[in-house]
A and B are shown apart, each in its own frame.
Chain A
């Protein structure tokens, strides 16, 4: 029994990492109806940006994460303002095609600059340290830390959306991109801020990703699929749903991994398919009052 509880807890904690890497996708879809195919590659890119900063400042520097966040936020703003705003409209296809192209460009760019080697951000014993919780439960320090950070990030996002002028503007722009212009809102700027925010959070995900495991330039595709699955399982447009969805994904993967060491990823996909079959709107769909 303890064995299975342990597996569920580990899986749930992995969900924290998945959630950090998924929420950016959820934000860009929720606010500007942009399906960002390049999201996984942007996640991997933020991991490599963290690695590059570490190579410059030393792997132990506390500045790696803040600098990576700032770099990705600026990049996100510029990306939306210069490129993605031009293809947004009633048709979903142009942004799909453009971000698909962007995905290929980023992947090959990373390959060109950093080679195909997989790398990890050294963090001393943080990766292997664990603490004992009640009843012989062992929890890794890094997964726990990642999960706590994810909770904090989600709480901050919730506060931003509920209580700030910017958050209100994001919600209004998501509701009605035309009418929001009549309020004096410049959509191009607000969308760029939203993408900047999405990429800032993605940078946090990329940082903990490369801290916990080795990352190679070709991994964007898998990251994208996990992010999609977390968002869809949780329910499109639901902030906390994405966290729960990511935890469901993590738990399904670690359960399947117990049954057969080769089935981990398959287990996640199966959980996703089951949700699609029996609850296609996701676990926590956002109800809108129309």
Chain B
């Protein structure tokens, strides 16, 4: 069943159009990678899905069969769409545990609690009373992931969770993805780092200049095909 789906989704920043009729669907239990160069519209797509940018019409985004394109972010979070924003965006005056608890604001029941998040990222329990933004980049990303999970989402949108992290740290952060998926969470991973994202995904979509240029199983295309689509050289 389609959990989340966009239909001819168009998004604008003022007069600038960032998405041109994008069709994306996410099935229950699936992990979808969205790749593309800078400015391809990946972040815009995620921000529309989580409600930070309203779609032109409600019927351009469906969640569990309901049109949600015009709903505000806080209502979508309560319905089960969580977002890990680009750059983590932790709350600097809150400590680690308080940041995690902010994620539980909507009080959705489910498997994710302080306890299960600490079990997945034990280092966070060690630093639970520290101001969140004093942690290392990788640990901060773990807080951001944990915070999003605390709302027990059905869909988790991850915006560039590898951004600015050392490769070894990226690997560590990505280790959490299978565990999250096993709890029944469907994921959308937006990445510029293609390999990492494709390795943990079932399906992929490549965006270029606000349009879907490549779509299929995560392992369906060769390096060249992806590179061409990524940079918009030619359609494969």
Contacts and interface: CB of A to CB of B under 8 A. Distances in A.
Contacts, number: 75
A17 to B, nearest CB: 29
Contact of A181 (B52, B92, B93, B147): B52
Nearest to A286: B93
A140 B15 CA distance: 65
B103 A288 contact: no
B102 interface: yes
Interface stretch (B16-24, B36-44, B69-77, B217-225): B69-77
A184 B78 contact: yes
Contacts of A185: 74, 105
A174 interface: yes
A186 B101 CA distance: 16
A48 B131 CA distance: 43
B77 A168 contact: no
A133 interface: no
Interface in A158-192: 165, 168-169, 171-172, 174-176, 178-187
A265 B194 CA distance: 66
Contacts of A175: 91-94
A176 B103 CA distance: 14
B91 A179 contact: yes
A127 B60 CA distance: 67
Contacts of B102: 168-169, 172, 180, 183
Interface string A257-279: 00000000000000000000000
Given A181-B72, A184-B74, A176 B89 contact: yes
A3 interface: no
Contacts of A183: 74, 77, 102-103, 105-106, 147, 151
Nearest to A290: B92
Contact of A289 (B52, B72, B89, B134): B134
Q: Say which size band chain A's interface belongs to.
A: 20 to 34
B82 A288 contact: no
A182 B76 CA distance: 8
Interface in B54-79: 72-74, 77-78
A41 B64 CA distance: 50
Contacts of B94: 168, 171-172, 175
A178 B151 CA distance: 17
A1 B82 CA distance: 65
B132 to A, nearest CB: 8
B77 A184 contact: yes
A183 B50 CA distance: 11
Interface in B83-119: 83, 85, 89, 91-94, 98, 101-103, 105-106
A166 to B, nearest CB: 10
B133 A181 contact: no
Contacts of A182: 50, 52, 73-74, 77, 82-83, 85, 89, 148
A175 B92 CA distance: 7
B98 A289 contact: no
The 8 closest A-B pairs by CB, nearest first: A184-B106, A184-B77, A181-B73, A179-B89, A175-B91, A172-B91, A289-B131, A289-B133
30 contacts: A169-B105, A172-B91, A172-B94, A172-B102, A175-B92, A175-B93, A175-B94, A176-B91, A178-B89, A179-B89, A181-B72, A181-B73, A181-B77, A182-B50, A182-B74, A182-B83, A182-B85, A182-B89, A183-B106, A184-B74, A184-B77, A186-B72, A186-B74, A187-B74, A286-B93, A288-B92, A288-B93, A289-B133, A290-B92, A290-B133
Interface of A: 165, 168-169, 171-172, 174-176, 178-187, 286, 288-290
Interface of B: 50-52, 72-74, 77-78, 82-83, 85, 89, 91-94, 98, 101-103, 105-106, 131, 133-134, 147-148, 151
